[in-house]
A and B are shown apart, each in its own frame.
Chain A
Amino acid sequence: MIEGQGIPTLMIGTAHDIMSKVTPPRAVFVDHPVGRTFGPPHDRVRNQAVLARALEELPNFTRSDALRDPGFQWLSDGSRIWEDELSAEMRQDR
């Protein structure tokens, strides 16, 4: 809709499965828990680093529906223990 008006868009999101199905024109996957796309609360350095890195992907989109993964990690050691906490958090969201 917005692209149809002549305005390019870039989606920056955490839900790989949803973005894969919705197929926005350009999407960057941030492998963080939902609701924390740009980092933990009150971490302005990380907020800006995530945004800047996502924006660096812009020139790399050459076709619609592309979903790029720059390799963001929520925990510096690459651990995915946060997924258990997120699952518990989301179960409360009923």
Chain B
Amino acid sequence: MPFQYLPVMAQNSAPKPARVLVSPTKPAWCPIKKPLNESRVALLSSAALRLADQEPFIAREDFNYRRVPSDPSAGGIIIDHHSGIGRVPKQDPEIVFPRTALADLQKRGVVGSLAPFHFSFMGGLRDHGRIENALAPAIANDLKQAQVDLALLVPY
């Protein structure tokens, strides 16, 4: 049986109410249109990632996002997310944000191309309305501008 995260999260948030999980109010399904080896791919991470020269995220309720260059040689990744589970991934952000692995798969022809940027935001935000009405549409618009065919969501 898989590890159960929700009871631990509920314990950790006590005495505050447990975090409420919310699904989108307008769920959608978009068929895959291209084979992976012809697709442009971007990563979306909820780890509040950035490059060293980008503005740091504000702890807990930052509704902005960062464009992180998809080229691994563009600079090392910093994790701003406040979660205690970050002790391990902060040693090597690639284990939650596989930027190098994706670039290698693109070089091998498994993935068609990379979007110039990947995207990251602060996971665990509690204002779901603001996520649905502002943050997610802004990221979706950026993905569309970058002509992304497949977005890989890698939760923190």
A binds B: yes
User: CB within 8 Å of B: which residues of A?
Assistant: 1-18, 21-25, 29, 31, 33-44, 47-48, 50-52, 55, 58-59, 61, 63-64, 80, 83, 86-87, 89-94
For chain B, what secondary structure do more than half of its interface residues adopt (helix, strand, loop), or is it mixed?
mixed
Contact size class for B?
35 or more
Known: A3-B28, A38-B96, A44-B100. 9 other contacts (CB 8 A): A2-B44, A5-B141, A11-B154, A16-B3, A17-B4, A37-B154, A40-B95, A48-B104, A58-B36
Chain B CB count within 10 A is highest, among A7, A10, A42, for A7
A16 and B88 CA atoms in complex are apart in Å by 20
Inter-subunit contact A47/B12 (CB<8 Å): no
A67 and B94 CA atoms in complex are apart in Å by 23
Quick one: which of B83, B105, B139, B148 contacts A55, CB cutoff 8 A? B105
Nearest CB of chain A from residue B122's CB, rounded to whole Å: 15
Q: Which residues of B contact A35 (CB under 8 A)?
A: 83, 85-86, 88-89, 95-96, 156
A80 and B4 CA atoms in complex are apart in Å by 13
Q: A17-B6, A18-B6, A38-B94 are in contact. Are A7 and B85 (CB under 8 A)?
A: no
Inter-subunit contact A8/B95 (CB<8 Å): no
* A45, closest chain B residue (CB): B101
Q: Is B49's beta carbon under 8 Å from chain A?
A: no
A7 and B5 CA atoms in complex are apart in Å by 29
